[in-house]
Amino acid sequence: MPPAARKPRPRQYDPKKTRAAVAAQLGHVGDAVRGLTAEQFALPTRLGDWTVRELVAHLSMTLGAVARGLAEPAPPKPEATLLDWPSASAPLAASVDERTHALSAAHDPAALLERTAAEFAERVGAAPDDRVVTARPGALRLSDLLVTRCLELVVHADDLAAATGREIPYDRQALATTTRLLADVLAARAPGGSVEVRVPPFAVVQCVAGPKHTRGTPPNVVETDPLTWIRLATGRTTWAEALDAARVSASGERADLAGYLPVMS
C-alpha cells in the first residue's frame, strides 16, 4: 500500500507586508466607494442578487469580523490553516447572504465601510501578529487572518470595478498574496506533479496526479495573468471563457483545469 500523501504545509507570508497590503488595498476600495452615487450603489453585481450596496456591506462585514474577533478572548491555539479557509465559504453562503442583506438595509454603505475601516485599523494596529483570533473555519493567527482579508479586498475590488465601471488600483503585494493563496489551494485540492500552473510574476505550483515532472520543459503547462487566475479560482469566469478569450494558455493532455475550478466561490 502506498504511503498516505502528506498534507501540504501552508506558505508563509511576511506579516509586515501583509498588514501594509491590506491597508493599501482597503484605501483603494474606500476611495472608490466614497465617490459612488446612489444610482451606482443600486447597480447589479455578478454576485447573485447583490447590488453594489450589498457588496460594500459585505466588505464591511468581513473587516468587522476581524475587529470583533480581536475584541473577544483569544482562543488557546490556532484550529485551522490558510489552506482550510476557502473551504468554509460554501457551507456558510446562505448565512452570509442573510447577514449581508440585513447590514445593507440598516446602514449607509459608504459610512459603514468608513467606520468599520477605522475600527479595523485601530484594533489590528494594537494586536500582535501571533494573536489567535476566532474565525471560520476555525481560529487563526492574526497574520494568517489578514492574508484572507487581503484576498477578500482584492476579489471584491474586482467585483466592484466590474459593477461600476470604475478603475480600482490593486496593491502589488495584495495581488501577489491573493494569487499565491489561491494557487496553493489548487495544489492542495488536486495534489500531484503532472501539471505546472504559472501565474507570472507571482506564483508557480504543480498539481494534478500523474507522472511527475522533474527537469526540462514540463509536458503540461497552464499559464495566465494574476487577475484572470483570481477570476478562475473564485468562479468569476469559467475555464472555457478564459480559453476562448485567450486569457489562459494550456498545453499538454492533462492541462485542463476545468474540473478543479473554482477553488473558492
CA atoms of 45 and 164, how far apart (whole Å): 9
Q: What confidence category does residue 137 fall into, taking pLDDT thresholds of 50, 70 and 90?
A: confident
Read off the C-alpha cell for 261.
475550478
3-state secondary structure of 75: coil
3-state secondary structure 221-239: EEEECHHHHHHHHCCCCCH
Which pLDDT tens digit goes with each residue over 27-60?
A: 999 999 998 999 999 999 999 999 999 999 999 9
- Is a pLDDT exceeding 70 seen at residue 191? yes
CB 212 within 8 A of CB 192: yes
Beta bridge partners of 198: 204, 223
DSSP single-letter state for residue 129: T
pLDDT of 21 reads 98
In this prediction, residues 195-213 reach a mean pLDDT of 90
Confidence class of residue 3 from pLDDT cuts 50, 70 and 90? very low
**What is the pTM for the complete model shown?**
0.93
**Is residue 127 pLDDT above 90, yes or no?**
yes
When pLDDT is averaged across residues 238-261 and rounded to a whole number, the result is 95
Domains of the chain (ranges; CATH) run 15-170 (1.20.120.450), 176-260 (3.30.1050.40)
pLDDT, one tens digit per residue, over 57-93 is: 999 999 999 999 999 999 999 998 999 888 877 677 7
